[in-house]
Amino acid sequence: MWKYLTKMSRLVRPWVAHKGLKRTVGLVMAVLAVATAVWGPIPSLASDVGGPVGLAVLPEGGIEIVTQETAQVPVENYKVSQGYRFYHPGMDLAAKIGEPVKPMAKGKVILVQKDRWNYGQHVVVDHGEYQTLYAHLSKINVAEGQEVDTETVLGEIGSTGRSTGPHLHLEIREGNRTVNPKSVLDVK
């Protein structure tokens, strides 16, 4: 899956970086914003469902509190150097070379790859409901199939692959879609 996405990324990036395309997309978004402001929101098909609105009443003691494991930021000392965008499906955390990288949550390493281009040396961890990618590592300390927890050091910050400086490129995937890491992590 990740290998396929890397190939697709190589094909799509020149189009996304094209100034004319960016200008056109920006213009279309501006026109939609103005039209929505002038004529109101576009009606939804859900408004046709209708029916009475009511509140559900729960019996006493009907709420069960479940504690979930929280996700941790993979690097301790970092600065967000690039955020999540539709053309950049992850977040870049700039840090010093050699800084340890830990997984966001416990899981199993499903891919360890050393690529000269794109993600460089990278690791993918499966957490059950989602997968995380840790890219541009200078050193990898884990192997495929290894179980990891939040204290396991996956590798070290580096600048391998298509990189302009030492940082961790972090991606979160749920199925076939990427998730903004900022919506999951408490980043500075």
pLDDT in tens, 19-38: 777 788 888 888 888 877 77
Stronger pLDDT, 150 or 8, i.e. the higher one: 150
pLDDT exceeds cutoff 80 at 49: no
Domain residue spans of the chain: 10-39, 79-183
pLDDT (0 to 100) of residue 3: 63
pLDDT value of residue 154: 98
Give the pLDDT confidence of 87-139 residue by residue, as tens digits.
899 999 999 999 999 999 999 999 999 988 899 999 999 999 999 999 999 99
Which CATH number does the domain 79-183 belong to among 3.40.50.300, 3.30.200.20, 1.20.1560.10, 2.70.70.10? Answer: 2.70.70.10
pTM for the model = 0.65
Tokens of 119: 């993600």
pLDDT at 56 over 80: no
DSSP code string of the chain: -HHHHHHHHHHHHHHHT-HHHHHHHHHHHHHHHHHHHHH-PPPPGGGGS--------PPTT-------PPP--S-SS-EEEE--BTTB-SEEEE--TT-EE--SSSEEEEEEEE-SSTT-EEEEEE-SS-EEEEEEEEEE---TT-EE-TT---EEEB--SS-SSSEEEEEEEETTEEE-GGGTS---
Long-range contact pairs involving 14-21 (C-beta distance under 8 Å, separation at least 24): 16/86, 16/87, 17/87
Say what the pLDDT of residue 23 is.
Answer: 81
